[in-house]
Amino acid sequence: MTERQMISLTVNGQVHEVAVEPRRLLSDVLRDDLGLTGTHVGCEHGVCGACTILIDDQPARSCLTYAVQMEGHEVTTIEAIGRDGLSPFQQAMHEEHGLQCGFCTPGIIMTFEAYLRDNPNPDEAEIRDVLSGNLCRCTGYQPIVAAVLKAAARQREERQ
């Protein structure tokens, strides 16, 4: 067995000291060591987007990231979103029926929390382009696009 290395992992604002083998994926450490099972793992090849989390506020695939790379970085997972009530995008996903089985949903939420923060006025083509990085087997994508547009409109209203 490869020797473990102590790392300091900041997740959702909380610092965790964990001993990990250098080969361990961030997705596995989040789920198995920290119990943050909201991050889902689908393909483990960087294709499906189910494992999307934020690293320093930017979306990233946790299945393509080694946990030891996270020293000095801030990781945000789905567990941090909507802690004080649903976020505007979560609320819009609920209203527009943007999820069915929910397997893809945490990754989609993380992707669009960051996207909507940086793009207050997206058009449908842009949304579909971003959404192409997250696979969903259930919804046909249309309700998710509708939810992004609705959340963006609400956020613009709130900012006025």
Angle at 68 between CA 43 and CA 17, to 5 degrees: 115
* 94 is an interface residue for ligand FES by CB under 6 A: no
Binding of ligand FES by 141 (CB under 6 A): no
Choices 79-87, 100-108, 122-130, 152-160 (CB under 6 A): range interacting with ligand FES: 100-108
Largest CA distance in the chain: 57
Q: Which of 44, 74, 79, 95 binds ligand FES (CB under 6 A)?
A: 44
Q: Does 146 bind ligand FES (CB under 6 A)?
A: no
Q: The tokens of 1 are what?
A: 């067995």
Q: Which residues contact 15 (CB under 8 A, 6 or more apart)?
A: 8, 9
Q: Which of 46, 120, 123, 132 binds ligand FES (CB under 6 A)?
A: 46
